[in-house]
Amino acid sequence: MHKNSVNIFQDESEVFKALAHPVRLFVIHVIQKERLSVKELSERAGIDISTMSKHLDLLKRHKIITGEKEKNRVFYTLNIPCVLDFMTCARNVLKK
């Protein structure tokens, strides 16, 4: 395999790693329809704010979500909606 191909696949694998946690999958499903703050997300997921912040940071780093600051709060939205298509595909694989 060429070095350039390895780099492309490495980048793609990083996106999959970013999605490879139940809390992060929960986040992308919840914020697909509404903007939520870290506090709201942590309450819905039943985890502490610092842990949720780490999950959000990872998703932001890979540009899967975006945060928009309003006064002293940041509201998160899904930046790449097509990631949900992959989740639908994953569910279909699990059914077979």
pLDDT tens, 42-88?
999 999 999 999 999 999 999 999 999 999 999 999 998 888 888 88
Phi and psi at residue 92, in whole multiples of 5°?
A: -65, -40
Tell me if 53 sits within 8 A of 63, measured CB to CB. Answer: no
pLDDT tens string 26-41: 999 999 989 999 999 9
Domains of the chain, residue spans: 3-95
Predicted TM-score of the model (pTM): 0.86
- Per the DSSP assignment, residues forming a β-bridge with 77 are 66
Domain 3-95 matching CATH 1.10.10.10: the answer reads yes
pLDDT tens string 1-20: 666 667 778 888 888 999 99
Tell me if 69 sits within 8 A of 76, measured CB to CB. Answer: no
